[in-house]
Amino acid sequence: MKQEVTLRQSLTLVQVVALGLAWMTPMIYFSVFGIAYDASQGMITEAYSLSVVAIFFTAYSYSVMAKIFPGSGSSYTYVKRSMHPIPGFTVGWAILLDYLFSPIIACLTFGIYLNAQFPSVPAYVWIILLNIVLAVVNIAGIKFSASLSKFFVLFQIIFIALFCTYLVRGFSGFEGIVQPFTNMGVGLPTILAGASIICFSFLGFDTVSTLSEETINAKKTIPRAIMLIILIASILYVVTSYLIQITYPSLVFVNLDSAGFELMKMAGGATLGAIFTTVLIFAIFTQGLTSVTSVSRLLYVLGRDSILPKRFFGSLHPKYRTPVNNIVLVSIISLLALVISLDMAVKFVSFGALTAFAFVNLSVIAECYIKRRQRSFKQTFQFLIFPLIGASFIVWLITLMDTSALLLGCIWLAAGLAYYLFRTKVSKALQGGANLFEGSARAIEPE
């Protein structure tokens, strides 16, 4: 009898946290700094602090559902099991946008940065090269990916610590040390506007839930990893923002998109700027690596559940025990980085992630508060009020997205639902035909 091939359960807490932080990419802080600083009118510490509080509720909902359903399907599994297969598929289809386009963003930005460093080498060469490397490393196995991610995440954290050291050295007085939390020269709506942009710096903590079946003691490890990822990212972002704000009370940037690089040169000159570019390239590589890992596992679960063709998507390599078909397919799709714009890819990622976040918050209410009737005073806060706060904030963020992003997202969801209904109808027809054939066979059997 042929032995079933399963995912290899080998990841520890440290490795899972490293993979989650690698997807989140701590260096993204500097990529969005200029836009966030401008939107919050310089109140960057307050905006980050507010976004930490807001995103905590959604992270908490993910940790609750990861304990209840320790499978690798992430939001798809949570919503399907707690609510209904149709909204479950809708969420899985939505998060597929996030996961499919994240490697595209990594390849695109990798090509842009390296082309800027080596103008004689076209961007498409770097994009194709990165695609091949990401595929090979992912096929080799999750443990190897986790080890690489741990190293490169540590590299990013060390750099951020180095940058903060430069800020402390440049700090000239203590009169403004409490200024970030006392100078409320702008209103709450302005700080909220900055927080809405900053929340995208936290996207990625949810991806570790796709690794449950490859994690040792997933029921405990995955929830802990989610909260640790949020905690580490929060400390990095808030402390850095605070030091920037007290060192440079007023900043003006030539180009908001490259504000992070301008900040580096301001704090440490050309040397720090060069180190910054190098670390950022490594960070992009790591984000691409973990993105391919996450989406290949989600596709595997969808295939295993026969939502997608099982023979292709639900298979694992007998030696490496990784979803090789999915990894290769994702690598082919990631070649869209050769033709798609960065703005378009970011819109897809944002819509997919926020849709999933909203539904995961609601799934906690459906599973714990309604189905399991966990309604004590403490449980009402845990399983009703907290998820409602999380869902409300995420829905508000969705309303802030531009019309084109919402339109593209709705078209994707409509296409997914059409596919789901078609596949369900075909499956029922095939099942009905099989039952009819079985009944006819029994009818003609000799007594």
Domain shared by 390 and 416, yes or no: no
Q: Is residue 56 part of a domain?
A: yes
Q: Do 60 and 185 belong together in one domain?
A: yes
Residues 329 and 418 grouped into a single domain: no
35 found inside a domain: yes
290 lies in the same domain as 241: yes
The single-letter code of the amino acid at 409 is G
18-32, 56-70, 223-237, 379-393, range with the lowest pLDDT: 18-32
Determine the residue type at 58.
T
Residues with Cβ < 8 Å from 222, sequence gap 6 or more?
16, 63, 66, 67, 70, 208, 209, 211, 212, 215
Q: Considering the domain boundaries, does residue 2 fall inside one? A: no
Q: How many distinct structural domains can be found in the chain?
A: 2
Q: Given a cut of 50, is residue 441 above it in pLDDT? A: no
> pLDDT category, 2, cuts 50, 70, 90?
low
- Across the range 225-248, mean pLDDT stands at 93
pLDDT, tens digit (0-9, with 9 covering 90-100), for 115-133: 877 889 999 999 999 999 9
Residue 8 within any structural domain of the chain: no
Which whole number is the average pLDDT over 373-401? 92
Q: How confident is the model at residue 1 (pLDDT cuts 50, 70, 90)?
A: very low
In contact, 387 and 364? CB cutoff 8 Å: yes
The pLDDT value recorded for residue 437 is 45
Most confident of the ranges 138-142, 230-234, 397-401 = 230-234
Cα separation, 59 vs 353, whole angstroms? 13
pLDDT value at position 430? 55
Average pLDDT over residues 412-437: 74
Backbone angles phi, psi at 35, to 5 degrees: -65, -45
Asked if residue 419 and residue 396 are part of one domain, the reply reads no
Burial of 2 (0-12, 13-18, 19+ CB in 10 A): exposed
CA contacts within 13 A on the Cβ side of 100? 20
Q: How many angstroms separate the CA atoms of 134 and 216, rounded?
A: 24
pLDDT of res. 198: 79
Residues near 201 by beta carbon (within 8 Å), at least 6 away in sequence: 24, 28, 29, 32, 51, 233, 237
Cα 216 from chain centre: 21
Q: Does 227 share its domain with 267?
A: yes
Residues 276 and 383 in one domain: yes
- With beta carbons less than 8 A apart as the criterion, state whether 241 and 30 touch: no
pLDDT in tens, 285-338: 988 998 898 889 889 988 998 888 999 999 998 888 899 999 999 999 999 999
Summarize pLDDT for 4-43 with one digit per residue, the tens. Answer: 677 778 889 999 999 899 888 899 888 778 888 888 888 8
For residues 288 and 423, state if they share a domain: no
**CB-count burial class (<10 Å; 0-12, 13-18, 19+) for 346:** middle
- How large is the average pLDDT for residues 420-441? 63
Alpha-carbon gap, residue 159 to 154, rounded angstroms? 9
* C-alpha 377: how far from chain center: 33
**Distance between CA atoms of residues 363 and 51, nearest Å:** 22
- Rg over CA atoms, the chain: 23
**Dist CA 374 CA 78 (whole Å):** 17
Average pLDDT, the chain: 85
Q: In whole angstroms, give the CA distance from residue 89 to residue 228.
A: 29
Residue 308 sits in the same domain as residue 429: no
Average pLDDT over residues 241-270: 86
Secondary structure element (H or E) that encloses residue 201, with its range: none
Let me know: does 409 contact 94? Beta carbons within 8 Å. yes
User: What residue type is assigned to position 222 of the chain?
Assistant: I
379 pLDDT higher than 70: yes
Q: Which has the closest alpha carbon to 286: 104, 146, 123, 132?
A: 146
Residue 347 has pLDDT above 90, yes or no: no
pLDDT of 91 > 70? The answer is yes
- Note whether residue 155 is domain-resident: yes
With respect to residue 6, please indicate whether it lies within any of the assigned structural domains.
no
Same domain, 182 and 46: yes
pLDDT at 253 over 90: no
Q: Is residue 7 part of a domain?
A: no
Query: Contact 57/199 with Cβ under 8 angstroms?
Result: no
Within 8 A by CB and 6+ apart from 259, the residues are 30, 33, 34, 35, 37, 253
Phi, psi of 11 (to 5 degrees): -80, 135
pLDDT at 171: 67
We report the CATH number of the domain holding residue 204 as: 1.20.1740.10
In which domain, by residue range, is 62 found? 13-401
CB atoms < 10 A from the CB of 271, how many? 10
Query: pLDDT (tens digit, 9 = 90+) per residue, 145-203?
Result: 888 888 889 999 999 999 999 988 866 555 556 566 555 566 777 787 777 777 778 88
Same domain as 396, residue 419: no
Per DSSP, the residues of 142-184 read HHHHHHHHHHHHHHHHHHHHHHHHHHHHH---STTTTHHHH--
- Evaluate whether 286 touches 149 at the Cβ level (below 8 Å): yes
Residue 273 within any structural domain of the chain: yes
Within this chain, do residues 161 and 86 fall inside the same structural domain, yes or no? yes
